[in-house]
Amino acid sequence: MRTRPTLSWTPTEDPPPGTTEPAPVVDALRSGGVLVLSGAGISTESGIPDYRGEGGSLSRHTPMTYQEFAASARARRRYWARSHLGWRTFGRALPNAGHRAVAAFGRQGLLAGVITQNVDGLHQAAGSEGVVELHGSLERVVCLSCGALTSRRELARRLEEANAGFGPVAAALNPDGDADLTDEQVGDFCVAPCHACGGVLKPDVVFFGESVPPPRVEHCRDLVEAATSLLVLGSSLTVMSGLRFVRQAARAGKPVLIVNRDPTRGDRHAVTRVALPLGATLTTVAERLDVPVDVGSEGPARRP
């Protein structure tokens, strides 16, 4: 039985209203030492949908859980067929203005680090360095038996060879790179085993039902402790994965600033929530700080 991920939370009190003035974000960045925590909302302008925003994928799609993936060969076939098709689009996504602005802030020495809940690699593609991928990355594949790590692009080539002619039309793409397909469209899709030992391959991401590796969590806690303030970009903070760092910062008296159009679970811990689109807001912030944003930092399209 598939466990449905957390869709929302029920506020116990009215959330503070959002603002349309990004001045507090400008002031925080001008002071330096800002730790960025980004969520799916920063990648929507790159064509990757989010989970919980307006029209978010969780309203129609239940992501694969680790328990189902590990226990069922049929579930793995369904996952890899859908993910392989989705990768053709997901793997070509390019950084947007929000990613490029974050990279520019980093180059100017204004950031203490970047933690992302996303698995799309777009912060790195925009030029950000030292990004902590809280939930892993779709760029890598791990064997559940021997632990070998391989490139997703290499696996994509193997899957193409093993499934010549596979090309159904997906109903939609999801934030985890999974495309919506029916069981009929999945058909008898051939799943590739580990090259090294023949074991089961899984994307190197934290599935629903898994926990973030404790050393990674501790590293993020250290980053929060060392930062001057925490800037949340495009995350609803519905799940504890990111919310715990907001709570940690607030307990330590560090200002928490959020840029997200919709209310978030962390609003009551924040000094402000800027309720504006991310790309335009961060571009405005960069202009006010006189920080040059490299519009050519996307690089070539990433090919599957």
Binding residue ranges = 39-59, 117-120, 143, 146, 194, 197, 234-236, 278
Q: Binding site for NAD(+): what residues are annotated?
A: 39-59, 117-120, 234-236, 278
**Phi, psi dihedrals of residue 108, rounded to the nearest 5°:** -85, 0
User: Catalytic: which of 84, 99, 135, 269?
Assistant: 135
Q: Which residues are annotated as a binding site for Zn(2+)?
A: 143, 146, 194, 197
DSSP result, 177-232: S-B---HHHHTTPPPPPPTTTS--EEEEE--BT----HHHHHHHHHHHHH-SEEEE
In residues, how long is the chain? 304
Tokens (6 digits) for 48 = 């990757």
Cβ–Cβ contacts within 10 Å for residue 271, how many? Answer: 14
| 3-state SS, residue 148 | coil
State the DSSP string of 228-257. Answer: SEEEEES----SHHHHHHHHHHHHTT--EE
Active site residue 135: yes
Which of the residues are catalytic? 135
